[in-house]
Amino acid sequence: MEFTEKQSLVRTKASLLVVLPLLAPGILYISVLSQNAVLTSLIVSVIICVVSWFFLKTIQLILHVNESCISFQIKGLQRKEEVVLWEDIKQIEKTSIKPLSQFGGWGLRFSRSRTGYIFEGEDGVELTTVRNNIFVITIRDTESFFTTISFFQARLNK
């Protein structure tokens, strides 16, 4: 039994930020620029939006649970995955996540006391290691995640 989940930033509210550059040409047209300058800025804005959307599409959170560890990585931003062995886990708790108020946004987020892997949804886990490192990870399918966790923890406790 294993658990793997892939999450993308495209399905989050963060993807709405991609369309913000499209507002600039309209504001510029209303204020001062000529029609040709507005058309040029609109084309540049569309190009920026398309490139930003493809960038968001390539960034993925990959979470994997198997018999030896829990691992997670943000493909496209991190070169190597974060691996937490079962014996290094102190506690795993289900938690509710509010990306903006708790972490200031989506993606790989740092606060004073914890590291957030914040992508899709508002459900997730808070994983505390024996070294008191705290990772907060969004998970879409928390039920399957905890079923897998229970399966491996039961096998480890035997």
CB atoms under 10 Å from CB of 56, counted, come to 21
Higher pLDDT, 117 or 22: 117
pLDDT the model gives residue 39: 72
Name 65's bridge partners: 3, 70
pLDDT the model gives residue 19: 60
List all residues 6 or more positions away from 67 whose beta carbon is below 8 Å from its beta carbon: 2, 152, 155
Q: Which tokens is 146 given?
A: 């905890």
Name 69's bridge partners: 85
- Alpha-carbon span 9 to 69, nearest angstrom: 25
Query: Which of 41-45, 103-107, 119-123, 145-149 has the least mean pLDDT?
Result: 41-45
* Of 140, 22, 5, the residue nearest 71 (C-alpha): 5
Which residue type occupies 122?
E
- Listing DSSP states for 81-104 in one string gives -EEEEGGGEEEEEEEE--IIIIIS
* Of 153, 140, 122, the residue nearest 61 (C-alpha): 140
pTM of the model: 0.78
Tens digit of each residue's pLDDT (9 = 90 or more) over 51-107: 777 777 788 999 999 999 999 999 988 999 999 999 999 999 999 999 988 998 888
